[in-house]
Structure 1
Amino acid sequence: MTKIIMVFFALVATIQVIKPLGWPGLKRRKDAWKLAVGGFLVTVFAVILAATFQPSL
């Protein structure tokens, strides 16, 4: 699941660099770093959530 999230955010960041999306906070090409940080944080949160609810052996 985390790989899918990272691929999605990488694609959106690539699109942002080519042609800005125009979303609030993403008006310029150099705002692509916000998408990269967001993808990283979502992935970290997903890993922590999965580790929290994983049954212990």
Structure 2
Amino acid sequence: MTKIIMVFFAAVAAIQLIKPLGWPGLKRRKDAWKLAAGGFLLTVFAVILAAMFQPTA
């Protein structure tokens, strides 16, 4: 699941670098870092959630 999240955000960030999306907060090419940071934070959150619900041995 985390790989899918990272691939999605990487693709959207690449598109943002080529042609800005025009979404609120993403009007300029240099705003692609926001997408990368969002993808990283979402991945960290998903890993933490998965670790919390692991069955203990």
Fold match (TM-score > 0.5):
yes
Structure 1: which 5+ residue stretches go unaligned?
Answer: none
1:40 shift after superposition: 0.2
Q: How does 1:1-57 map to 2 (within 5 A)?
A: 1-57=1-57
State the TM-score, normalizing by the size of structure 2. Answer: 0.99
Q: Percent identity?
A: 86
Q: CA RMSD in A?
A: 0.3
Paired with 1:45 and 1:22, the residues of 2 have a C-alpha distance of: 27
Structure 2: which 5+ residue stretches go unaligned?
Answer: none
State the TM-score, normalizing by the size of structure 1. Answer: 0.99
Runs of 4+ in structure 1 off by over 4 angstroms are none
Three-state SS of the structure 2 residue aligned to 1:38 is: helix
